[in-house]
Structure 1
Amino acid sequence: MKKVWSVVLSLAAVLAFFLGIWLIGRIINPSLNLDQTALLRFVFVGVGLLIVFVVYLLTKNSKMWEVGTRQVVYMAIGAALYAILSYLFNGTVFVVPSVSQVALRPAIAIPMFFGYAFGPVVGFFTGAVGNMFGDALTGFGLSPQWSIGNGLVGFVAGLAWLFTDKKKSLNVVLIVSAVLAALATVLYLVNPNTANGVFFDAANNIFGDAKISLGAGLSLVVGFVIVLLVRFIFHKNIDVAAAVTWAMLGNILGIGFAAVSDIWINGYSPVVALVGEFIPSAGPNLIFAAILVPLLVGAYASIQKQTGR
């Protein structure tokens, strides 16, 4: 009973932070107020929270659901780090062509790592609350459903804890990720002229009608290949291999959840949502996952060795 309440309170805390950031943020910065789709956005927030709770009910005997003082501290640290790094990289460094502003975000490695290292609840809180705070700090506007998607990235990365022998899970995760990446890429190849709805270049008479670049369209496959290489290069280091592989699946499912929600929230067609939002967001994330997650896992292992934990 204690475990279920700790999970419920953690999910309730995510919702409370979301509401607080929105209600207080819009007073400080009017651009943080949500439009008439506010209720629908929070419906998808609820769907995301429900997904986490259902997975908990199905796997509640696992130790990965323990939420004590240590996990709460990790949540706070993870969310703070992700918020600050998201603020630094959300549209301030690079922008990948898409139907909405999607920055190259090395910060995505934070919820991936925190989920894998400290469990799915920590990963979910880190990604969801950290992204929401990061958006508020940036001041571009809030997208609660995308913050939940970021939370699911960390959540799925933490599901590696379900397997005592993590190595046995990797092939299944790789196959599922490969199928999803291939399907999305085929959709891009069939629809290569999908419009970049927020790219405006008056000098060249471009007003939101430029097609997505080839590099952005193929970024998911490129990211998958890089993750695959890292997985096999580090085949003797199961923690690095598992962290990168599960982070990849988390990225595909979490960002996919956010992009698909925009079919209803923003009225996008499935092609626009998946080709214009999902691919150019999830693809670069995989590249950073392959590079940064192994570094974080290695650094954490070194700290554990030095402290004797």
Structure 2
Amino acid sequence: MDKRLSAILWTLVVTLVIFLLLIYVGGNMMGIERLQTGENPVLRFVFVIVGLLIAFLVYYFTRENEAWEVGTREVVWMAIGAALYAVFSWLFNGTVFVVPSLSQVALRPAIAIPMFFGYAFGPVVGFFTGAVGNMFGDALTGFGLSPQWSIGNGLVGFIAGLALLFSDKKKSMDTVLWVSGVLSVLAVVIFFLNRNVPNMLFFDPANNIFGDATISLFAGISILVGFVLVLIVRFAFGQNVDVAAAVTWGMLGNILGIGFAAISDIWINGFSPAAAIVGEFLPAAGPNLIFAAILVPVLVAAYAAVQRQSGR
């Protein structure tokens, strides 16, 4: 079997096995509550499989590209990335950092980690970092597991790493900006057409909020705020292609990866398409994008400095 194909298959299979062990062995057989998932566990894993297939198909149609090389170095980075993402996701998950939404959405500056690892070390590393790191982060938090959302996080890092497929990074960034801009505007239009969608999670008894408050204006337009910040970074760092490309591709990964997870809840949780976009996607993807525009450049610059000092 081709070495690249073998590495990709092993990565995807290991990811699936980890998910199954956590939920079906730890959650169901051993009865560990924090490792249990909600309703429709089979359907959740259907979307896990769909996400894995998406990653495989992208690999298959671009399999000649060197971006798919996976060796010992990449495996080490997978483990480091997943561990870092798990710990920092746990630190920022929970009610202290919760964003009013239809489901458990928190402010997550840690989203910059799978974006950076994907761009710096390739889409396979980014996928594993996002998917496995998010799964363990949720397990540490103790709110239950949503494997399809972990796959969505994996796609964030995976898509960020697709920048390595293109020899002309500047040209690819322009295309990504247009696609991301259109999707961001479309999501905000849906928000303004459906501002009456209530969240079903956020409770603030002191202010008489009992899960029936509508999604805030900031949550609704935050994805546009994030897009503008990414646009500023793109042109402010025009001479630093790595910073600009990492942020730009990370933005697309965030939109498509979190979008995948939110849309899956149309079938899993019975949300309407508008509720999934307004109540889940925007409160999650918008703040993510703002953090990405700020933190990804820092990580890329720090990594470049380390490389210069080490002579690599």
- TM-score, shorter chain, exceeding 0.5: yes
- Residue number in structure 1 paired with 2:270: 267
Distance 1:295 1:28 in 2: 41
Residue 112 (structure 1) aligned with residue 112 (structure 2): no
Distance 2:109 2:95 in 1: 12
Residue 279 (structure 1) aligned with residue 258 (structure 2): no
- Aligned partner letter, 1:163: F
Percent identity, aligned pairs only, is: 70
- Residue number in structure 2 paired with 1:7: 8
- Aligned partner letter, 1:8: L
Residue 17 (structure 1) aligned with residue 18 (structure 2): yes
Deviation at 1:306, TM superposition (A): 1.0
Deviation at 1:90, TM superposition (A): 0.8
Deviation at 1:203, TM superposition (A): 4.8
Deviation at 1:28, TM superposition (A): 6.0
Deviation at 1:205, TM superposition (A): 4.3
Residue 199 (structure 1) aligned with residue 199 (structure 2): no
Q: Which of 60, 70, 74 is the matching residue for 2:73? A: 70
- Residue number in structure 2 paired with 1:135: 138
Aligned residues: 309
Deviation at 1:230, TM superposition (A): 0.9
- Structure-to-structure mapping, 1:1-309, within 5 angstroms: 1-26=2-27, 27=30, 29-91=32-94, 93-309=96-312
Distance 2:222 2:50 in 1: 28
Tell whether the 8 Å contact from 2:38 to 2:145 is kept in structure 1 after alignment. Answer: no
Moved more, 28-37 or 240-249: 28-37
CA offsets, 1:118-146, max 9 Å, x none?
00000000000000000001111100000
Distance 1:124 1:191 in 2: 32
Tell whether the 8 Å contact from 1:93 to 1:104 is kept in structure 2 after alignment. Answer: no
Using the size of structure 2 for normalisation, the TM-score is: 0.96
CA offsets, 1:160-200, max 9 Å, x none?
00111211111100000000000000000111111011122
Deviation at 1:201, TM superposition (A): 3.4
Distance 2:33 2:231 in 1: 44
Distance 1:174 1:224 in 2: 9
Tell whether the 8 Å contact from 1:25 to 1:136 is kept in structure 2 after alignment. Answer: no
Distance 1:258 1:107 in 2: 17
- Aligned partner letter, 1:182: V
Deviation at 1:115, TM superposition (A): 0.1
5+ long unaligned stretches in structure 2:
none
Change (3 A) 1:194 1:185: same
Is the partner of 1:103 in helix, strand or coil? coil
The structure 1 segments of at least 4 consecutive aligned residues displaced by more than 3 Å after TM superposition are 201-206
